[in-house]
Amino acid sequence: MSIQEIIEQKLAELDPSVLKVENESHKHSVPPNSETHFKVTLVSAAFEQFSQVKRHQRIYGMLADELAGPVHALALHLYTPEEWEARGKTRPDSPNCLGGGE
């Protein structure tokens, strides 16, 4: 199973209405087919009682094994359904890496 699939499987436990895990490794100075840099967009009612900091801490806890090993960078965009609607169902784009391969 790929690192991306493991991340998707673990985060599915939050019963998300939106879950998008993007491997952005190709934008960085890493070997081809790497799984080191990810962007996660996750919308879940489970976040309604949590601040952004607590949401991030929860995800970091869920993905502790991946962050301790192959995952070098993890961009998190975590929203409640209401926040997602208010944003027009969009999340920020990732900046270009100065050492990237694109």
Domain range annotation of the chain? 3-27+34-86
The per-residue pLDDT for range 15-50, each reduced to its tens digit, is 999 999 998 877 767 767 777 789 999 999 999 999
Cβ 20 vs Cβ 41: under 8 Å: yes
Chain position carrying tokens 């050492």: 99
Query: Tell me, what's the pLDDT at 99?
Result: 57
Cβ 28 vs Cβ 55: under 8 Å: no
69 φ/ψ sector (left φ>0, alpha ψ -120 to 50, else beta): alpha
Q: Would you give the distance in Å from CA 61 to the centre of its chain?
A: 13
pTM of the model: 0.86
Query: Tell me, what's the pLDDT at 98?
Result: 57
Q: Which CATH superfamily is domain 3-27+34-86 in?
A: BolA-like (3.30.300.90)
